[in-house]
Homo-oligomer: A and B are copies of this chain.
Amino acid sequence: MDNPMENISKKQAIMNTALTLFVNQGFYATSTASIASQAGVATGTLFHHFPSKEALMTKLFLDTKHEFADHLKQHLSKDDSLQTNARNIWFAAIDWGINNPNKESFFQQYSMSPTISVEIREEAMNSILGFISKMLRLGKQQGLLADYPEALMLEICHGQYLAASRFFIDHPELWQDEQHREASFSMFWKALAI
């Protein structure tokens, strides 16, 4: 057939369904048969698009991390101060989590699970954290950020983000509350600032 949309939509349906089921039931508790049936395709079709269940998981993980990183990068501006950039990225990151709760939960669950191989997790980390590292170094040069060891600062940034987005996903209405929004960024910034 020569309707490429058909293929794309089937493949995409499998990925969407798989992500939802992996988040809600866990990877091993989700059978390939259930992914296929809920996606409205046959099991054979799933294995036509992905050589194995694990390969499906890997593709899902890397695609989602890249999507997240791309979203953040759109909110960087050469014209703004470091603190303004940090602020904009912080809010963009949590916004993304609020708007993509499944994908955010996916990170929460699988960013440090042995379900995903170390190599894949590190690959994902670097594709995201590269530009954050640069920002940390810049902030130190400008005398805005404390001179803590960089790797530790990165881990704390990541941890604060996971914690804050976890909180706001559990309580989406509070993301509309100015006090909560500001408090989240304030704790993030104060931890790092001089």
Contact = CB atoms under 8 A, between A and B. Distances in A.
Contacts of A164: 152, 155-156, 159
Given A160-B160, A166-B159, A192-B187, A114 B149 contact: no
B148 A187 contact: yes
Interface stretch (A62-70, A82-90, A177-185): A177-185
A146 B191 CA distance: 13
20 contacts: A25-B114, A26-B28, A26-B114, A112-B166, A113-B113, A146-B186, A148-B183, A148-B187, A149-B174, A151-B171, A152-B164, A152-B187, A153-B187, A155-B164, A156-B163, A156-B164, A159-B162, A160-B163, A160-B191, A191-B191
A115 interface: yes
Quick one: copies of this chain in the complex?
Answer: 2
A133 interface: no
B149 A183 contact: yes
B183 A187 contact: no
Interface string A63-97: 00000000000000000000000000000000000
A114 B28 contact: no
